[in-house]
Amino acid sequence: MLISNAWAQAAAANDPTGGLMGMLPIVLMFVVLYFLMIRPQMKRTKEHKTMVDALAKGDEVVTSGGLAGKIVKVGDAYVQLEIAPNVEVPVQKNAIGTLLPKGTLKTL
């Protein structure tokens, strides 16, 4: 009287694709994330590294801070950048943002 009757229920049928279908949206999000964010960033990084490795004396560049000038000396980690006549500043190679076409900076 105090204990209610327990009715046995049939066990749920095992769905063979249940676990895989539950993981599918997460896997698809990672695939989309890879192709939209990770892969283009890796490509940009590789292009920047090849540009920095190819820097030479006489190249005209713009730094990531906005300084524009001509390279007068190239070292292992630094370059000397002439930003005005007789004004040279040392700049890290990785801080070079853009390589300009020759003749862009006419005032130097």
Residue 91 lies in a domain: yes
Domain shared by 42 and 72, yes or no? no
Q: What is the mean pLDDT of residues 91-97?
A: 95
What are the pLDDT digits (tens) for 15-55? 666 677 788 899 999 999 999 999 999 999 999 999 999 99
Domain extent, residue 88, equals 56-108
Domain shared by 95 and 70, yes or no? yes
**Is residue 14 over pLDDT 80?**
no
Residue 2 lies in a domain: no
Mean per-residue pLDDT over the chain, rounded? 88
Tell me, what amino acid is at 66?
A: G
Taking a C-beta distance cutoff of 8 angstroms, is the pair 71, 79 a contact?
A: yes
Residue 4 lies in a domain: no
Residue 48, Cβ density class (10 Å: 0-12 exposed, 13-18 middle, ≥19 buried): middle
Domain shared by 87 and 108, yes or no? yes
pLDDT of residue 12: 60
State how far the Cα of 78 lies from the Cα of 83, in Å rounded to an integer. Answer: 15
Count: domains in the chain: 2
For residue 63, give Cα distances in angstroms to 24, 54, 68, 84, 97: 44, 15, 7, 15, 5
Residue 36 lies in a domain: yes
Domain shared by 50 and 62, yes or no? no
**Is residue 62 over pLDDT 80?**
yes
**Residue 87's CATH number:** 2.30.30.100
pLDDT of residue 106: 80
